[in-house]
Amino acid sequence: MQVVIKVEKFVSILKEHDLKVTPQRIAILRYLEIHRTHPSADTIYEDLKADNPSLSKTTIYNSLDMLKQHGLVKALRLGSTVRYDYSTNRHHHFWCRRCGKIMDITGDDPCWKDMVGDDHRVEEVHVYLKGVCSTCLKKKKEED
């Protein structure tokens, strides 16, 4: 199954946020929409450079930072690495320590509400769970 995403969608998104429309920004947004794997900036660069010869690592980093500032992507700091998420709705992440895969966990866990109380307004919550994913557990079980 081939994923077809119209360029016009990303042109509209960039214009809605008063951002300059460039082929590089469109390529990055399109990549993140298709690849929901929470890639690093280096992964995005490596995957896009063949089809975008004018693309540089600096362009990737600057574009991701600008997209993050405008709320179009989220940056996830997991350990010593930063990964990017196109889904900006409220959700958490599970990070497998064996395969490195990062998975979205939907839902809003209100456990922090009691800790903060009503005196504050929470605008963001960053939660990631680290462990071993079901695929890796299954592989381990088969190896034993």
- For 1-48, write each residue's pLDDT tens digit: 455 678 899 999 999 999 999 999 999 999 999 999 999 999 999 999
Parallel, antiparallel, or unpaired for β 128-131 and 91-96? parallel
Is the pLDDT reported for residue 111 higher than 70?
no
- Asked if 92 and 109 count as a contact pair (C-beta separation under 8 A), the reply is yes
- Residue 59 phi, psi dihedral angles, 5° rounding: -60, -45
What SS3 class is residue 107? coil
The H or E element containing residue 94 is: strand 91-96
Is the pLDDT assigned to residue 56 strictly greater than 60? Answer: yes
Strand pairing class (74-78; 102-106) = unpaired
Q: What pLDDT is recorded for position 1?
A: 44
Going from the N-terminus, what domains does the chain have, and what CATH number goes with each? 7-85 (1.10.10.10), 91-143 (3.30.1490)
Q: What is the pLDDT of residue 75?
A: 93
How much is the average pLDDT of 51-63?
93
- Could you give the dihedral angle defined by the CA atoms of residues 96, 87, 23 and 19, in that order, rounded to the nearest 10 degrees? -130
